[in-house]
A and B are shown apart, each in its own frame.
Chain A
């Protein structure tokens, strides 16, 4: 099960991921056109927390609150280990999912990416770039990050990476006798 993992220590808040995300979900290959003509919106967010900057996007929760509260069955997970997706045709725009999401990464807004003049609201959320994955590509935000703060990895691997970091830290304490 692959997920997007962020390293807040690396993020420089350049917001390249936001732009790449909007472009990836628009009906064009041109960034300026995507934003000015297609009304594309990103579904990854750069939020600051003190000195750190944290890129946030849908975690595609195992027991997803958004799916539980959706009264029209518009939020679904076609593939057991895959992303939570939106069926815009079924969505009634009640915004329950927006309220239920503990990370605040689901929005109800204009931003279909097809046409800026489209007045229809849509649920905007990360789809793990399902289209790009089908072509063997990583999600756009991951590819766009110039400093490698975003990674698309197996969840297990990210846990392993965290363990290695923790072990290195512990070892440093043992060897030097100094903690952080």
Chain B
């Protein structure tokens, strides 16, 4: 990547990359270059490090070793590796979730002054769903029982996860047939890891179904619980205006950037920055105020609920420090670069790590405990204020870019916006789809990845979708990218959306792209789809809905878990770079073809964002045709393909014969692969 102009499409990011070059500091893009070439065995998923007779590798050229020392072939190794990735992704979301539920329990028991139930309506809804009595009981009594009920979901030993009941019947049938109904959140991770141990599961398809089960334990378990309980504890989000990009950092105020994922600390920091004593201290140190901004999903959490501005997404974390005006970068868990700590050598910024699950040598460690949340938050804000006078004015370099945006859309809010507060309903959305004013709905989510020009794929894909009358819902770093690109502002409809989508946006007053929160909030997309099914008229199961999903710049194991739970829930998902499965034709075919039979949806891999958007629209059009819905009401730039040119639904899904290496014994082991 010789030309640094190709590293991002965000002018603020490019400006800060120049600063990095001038100061001789490395960025993720430089480090990507120094990692070239990246290991092909890892890329293709055919390196097995699960036992120490190995490590073993399959020769991708088909001539050297085709099996590991234990006899595991490429299919087994690829499937096991994928299962391990998904177990990690599920663990990350679910362990975050557990902490939020724990905080609810503390709030209910009055053991933490920082937390109280702010979403009583959602609490009652959950209590009703889980069969917990609410009549004549205090909010805290109900909250305590809901928290206890949900904590048990993590370690559940019998039955299935309660939220499985939220899925349409067809999805539940599909999961049961595949042996993939999630029984407990922690359990599916433990069982999944067990399956990958040496000498355990080596039926590639069965291993993949184990990964589906672990992913469903995330989507319908850990992530969904995190979203629900965060709404109960910190309040249900409502649409609000804010701003995004590095320009939100203020030269004359104390700047605190929260980066990471859990709302348990960041939400309390919001309150701490408004503390009169701390504000007075900030003034005393010469600052005009205390400015809080965020990066990654913890930013999305406090944006959704408090309108706190966003400084940037994943690939901008070091760039924020390079503005020279960040007094504290507060980090917790997930997606935080160890490289951040190195920035302290050049800039006055204090990196403050807080989680007992993620220590960063060289950072200032202030361990966070929910019981003393406010005390910790104030301590960290004070650290920032005291660090303000240490800024070097010569190093201050804040790009001016910032875009206005609207965020705060949830499953419940969308219903209220569409149907009105007194009769909330998804009817207008379903009507819009049925008449063809809206072609369908797409979820575009996920990370940044320096292998792709920063933000470029998110923006190109989302623009292509909305100009073709597809409403887009977003989470995570993808939402931040589109916010910076001006797509989350209501005015975006007039500039970028097709005529049908424009009409909907104008009628109900929404942007064409809806920010629905953090990466655990992808579960909101699942519950919104459940509402669309319940409302009726556009399919009685997820796989019949004219919807699709994408993660064009994904990089994390969490993204794999998310993609898998969407696909297994019947929603077609296209991702930018391939999953690390290309070393096994059988696993590739299973994920990209045969999954249609099992779950009514498949994965697709397509690095070109426009082509990927067209794959999504093709899927949406096919679903519209299956439902007998009309073609789009207005002229659309990307025309629907004629019915007969559309690929037929898994026409006997061809499976290629399994190659038997020359000279090897075609014994029962290989013969058994081609099961009938």
Contacts and interface: CB of A to CB of B under 8 A. Distances in A.
Interface of A: 14-16, 18-20, 22, 31-32, 35-36, 40-42, 109, 111, 143-144
B40 A16 contact: yes
A22 B61 contact: yes
A32 B43 CA distance: 8
A35 B582 CA distance: 10
Contact of A19 (B37, B578, B582): B37
Contact of A144 (B37, B57, B60, B582): B37
A109 B662 CA distance: 14
Contacts of B22: none
B607 to A, nearest CB: 9
7 contacts: A14-B39, A15-B57, A19-B40, A19-B41, A32-B40, A35-B61, A143-B37
- Range class of the B interface residue count: 10 to 19
Contacts of A41: 61, 63
A41 B37 CA distance: 17
Contacts of B39: 14, 16, 19
A19 B37 CA distance: 9
A79 B541 CA distance: 68
A40 B642 CA distance: 37
A35 B60 CA distance: 7
B582 A15 contact: no
A22 B44 CA distance: 15
Contacts of A40: 61
A-B residue pairs, 8 tightest by C-beta: A19-B40, A32-B582, A35-B60, A144-B37, A31-B40, A41-B61, A20-B37, A16-B37
Interface string B534-576: 0000000000000000000000000000000000000000000
Contacts of B44: 32, 35
Contacts of B41: 15, 19
A111 B37 CA distance: 22
Interface string B38-65: 0111011000000000000100110100
Candidate in A20, A35, A41, A111 with the most chain B CB atoms within 10 angstroms:
A35
A16 B60 CA distance: 12
A36 B40 contact: no
Contacts of A16: 37, 39-40
B69 to A, nearest CB: 15
B43 A31 contact: yes
Contacts of B43: 31-32
A12 B195 CA distance: 30
A163 B582 CA distance: 46
Interface in B56-108: 57, 60-61, 63
Candidate in B57, B61, B582 with the most chain A CB atoms within 10 angstroms:
B61
B57 A42 contact: no
Nearest to B35: A146
Nearest to A32: B582
A42 B37 contact: no
Contacts of A143: 37
Contact of A32 (B57, B61, B578): B578
Contacts of B57: 15
Interface in B1-55: 37, 39-41, 43-44
Nearest to A143: B37
Contacts of B61: 18, 22, 35, 40-42, 111
Contacts of B60: 19, 35-36
A15 B63 CA distance: 14
Nearest to B581: A32
Nearest to B578: A32
Candidate in B40, B63, B578 with the most chain A CB atoms within 10 angstroms:
B40
Contacts of B63: 41, 109
A143 B33 CA distance: 13
A148 B12 CA distance: 37
Interface in B391-436: none
A27 to B, nearest CB: 16
A74 to B, nearest CB: 23
Candidate in A14, A19, A20, A111 with the most chain B CB atoms within 10 angstroms:
A19
Contacts of B582: 32, 36
A135 B578 CA distance: 30
A109 B41 CA distance: 22
Contacts of A19: 37, 39-41, 60
Contacts of A14: 39
A19 B583 CA distance: 13
Interface in B572-604: 578, 582, 585
A143 B585 CA distance: 29
B330 to A, nearest CB: 35
Contacts of A22: 61
A41 to B, nearest CB: 6
Nearest to A18: B61
B15 to A, nearest CB: 30
Contacts of A35: 40, 44, 60-61
Contacts of B40: 16, 19, 31-32, 35
Contacts of A36: 60, 582, 585
A14 B40 CA distance: 10
Contacts of B578: 32
Contacts of B585: 36
Contacts of B37: 16, 19-20, 143-144
A35 B61 CA distance: 6
Nearest to B60: A35
Given A16-B39, A18-B61, A19-B40, 4 more contacts: A31-B43, A36-B582, A42-B61, A143-B37
A37 to B, nearest CB: 10
A35 B40 CA distance: 10
Nearest to A111: B61
A16 B43 CA distance: 12
A1 B61 CA distance: 31
A35 B39 CA distance: 14
A44 to B, nearest CB: 12
Nearest to A14: B39
A34 to B, nearest CB: 9
A84 to B, nearest CB: 22
